[in-house]
Amino acid sequence: MPKEFRIGHGFDVHRFRRGRKLILGGVEIPHSKGLAGHSDADAVLHALMNALLGAMADGDIGTHFPDSDPRYKDIASGKLLAEVLRIMRRMRFKLVNADVTVVAERPKLSPHYSRIRKSVASLCNVAESRISVKATTTEKLGWTGQGKGVAVTAMVLLSR
């Protein structure tokens, strides 16, 4: 059977909140604020999961892990990603590559690219060369520019 390829796109937003840790891609990033959310609010892993589920046309993280469910309160999003990867394996899909862009005025993320990339690759059980993590500001424009929160986009390619 010829190989089948699927692309997926994911997007996620969380607002900053004092008194929370900033977790992106499973990595704690030093910052004065973290992200508000029902889980650990890891917007990188949330966008990535939405991209993976999108490629499989299997809903989104809201349908799989509803934030009304107390089981997901403050949960490490890596655990949710592990469940999405189980769904992928059941459907015989493999992750070819993922490309993640974090939109945030601050903190500056480039010093942390390597750690985030390693962490995402390890959580997905693929080589680091298949994972791209980058960031941009919005030149102080809009709510990301005003430092109110973080937006993340992710694109993935799956094969089977």
Kindly list the residues in this chain that would bind Mg ion in the complex (CB under 5 A): 12, 46
> Is the Cβ of residue 44 or residue 124 nearer to Mg ion in the bound state?
44
> Is the Cβ of residue 64 or residue 128 nearer to Mg ion in the bound state?
64
What residue is closest to Mg ion based on CB? 46
Shortest reach from residue 143's CB to Mg ion, in Å: 16
Shortest reach from residue 12's CB to Mg ion, in Å: 4
> Is the Cβ of residue 85 or residue 96 nearer to Mg ion in the bound state?
85
Helix (H, G, I), strand (E, B) or coil at 100: strand
> Which of 57, 13, 11, 55 is closest to 36 using CA atoms?
13
Shortest reach from residue 34's CB to Mg ion, in Å: 13
> Which of 42, 159, 47, 58 is closest to 99 using CA atoms?
47
> Which of 42, 36, 44, 46 is closest to 23 using CA atoms?
42
> Is the Cβ of residue 21 or residue 159 nearer to Mg ion in the bound state?
21
Q: Strands 149-159 and 22-24: what pairing?
A: unpaired
Shortest reach from residue 3's CB to Mg ion, in Å: 31
Shortest reach from residue 8's CB to Mg ion, in Å: 16
Residues 6+ apart with CB under 8 A from 65: 39, 72, 80, 83
> Is the Cβ of residue 36 or residue 96 nearer to Mg ion in the bound state?
36
Residue 119 identity: S
